[in-house]
């Protein structure tokens, strides 16, 4: 659901990086009429949807080592070239998974108590990509909000996120704070406030959570 909604943020002509975890599924939901160039940080340009079982090539994978397909005109290259693309500002949008986000557009997605696997390419993406879209579950396993006034975990980037997509809502990050733009059908604004630590205002054209 979250990956499907995130795919709707992508526009024709964009160069897009899909981060580790949930963002890797976005490739399977990009509308066919959208001409999007997908870039993988491990060295690939113009990859496509997940192959069917038995049709995968073990030499071609995304950042999470999951199999991908290559579209006509695709290319593969080394890490140096890949990160030159990212650091050079050539990535239009990056969709990143998150442990926490906050109302100032900060994102924490690499370290939590007892587990710090490393930041990976996220540190380069939050600095190099022109638009950061954060996707995550709205609450943790205990029910605590992951959309916060201020992140409590070590930051990946401060004030870098433009759009936050959870399983409950879609927020746009503005200089004035979070703006609620979409809300799932089985929840009202008061209910969302009760499960969200962050402050937010409501867009005048608030609509139901879109999946197409």
Query: pLDDT tens across 48-95, in order?
Result: 999 999 999 988 888 888 999 999 999 999 999 999 999 999 999 999
Point out the residues that are catalytic. Answer: 41
CATH number of 2-208: 3.40.1080.10
Residue 57's pLDDT is: 92
Stated pTM of the model: 0.96
140: left (phi over 0), alpha (psi -120 to 50) or beta: beta
Domain edges within the chain: 2-208
| Rounded-to-integer distance, Cα 4 and Cα 25, Å | 8
Q: Are 92 and 130 in contact (CB under 8 A)?
A: yes
Residue 135's pLDDT is: 98
- Summary mean pLDDT of the chain: 96
Residue 118's pLDDT is: 78
Q: Are 137 and 162 in contact (CB under 8 A)?
A: no
Q: What does each C-alpha distance from 127 to 52, 143, 181 come to in angstroms?
A: 34, 31, 25
pLDDT at 128 over 90: yes
């Amino acid at each position: 659901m979250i990956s499907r909604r995130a795919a709707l943020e992508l526009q024709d002509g964009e160069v897009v990086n899909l981060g580790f975890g949930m963002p890797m599924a976005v490739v399977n939901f990009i509308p066919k009429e959208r001409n999007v160039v997908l870039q993988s940080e491990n060295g690939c340009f113009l990859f496509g949807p997940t192959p069917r079982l038995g049709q995968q090539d073990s030499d071609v994978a995304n950042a999470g080592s999951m199999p991908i397909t290559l579209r006509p005109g695709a290319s593969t290259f080394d890490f140096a070239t890949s990160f030159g693309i990212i650091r050079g500002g050539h990535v239009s949008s990056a969709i990143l998974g998150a442990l926490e986000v906050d109302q100032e557009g900060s994102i924490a997605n690499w370290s939590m108590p007892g587990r710090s696997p490393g930041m990976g390419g996220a540190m380069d993406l939050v600095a190099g990509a022109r638009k950061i879209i954060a996707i995550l579950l709205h609450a943790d396993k205990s029910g605590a909000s992951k959309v916060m006034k201020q992140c409590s975990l070590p930051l990946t980037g401060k004030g870098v996120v433009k759009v936050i997509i959870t399983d409950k809502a879609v927020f746009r990050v503005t200089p004035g704070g979070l703006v609620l733009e979409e809300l799932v059908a089985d929840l009202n604004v008061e209910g969302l406030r009760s499960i969200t630590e962050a402050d937010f205002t409501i867009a005048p054209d608030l609509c139901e959570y879109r999946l197409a």
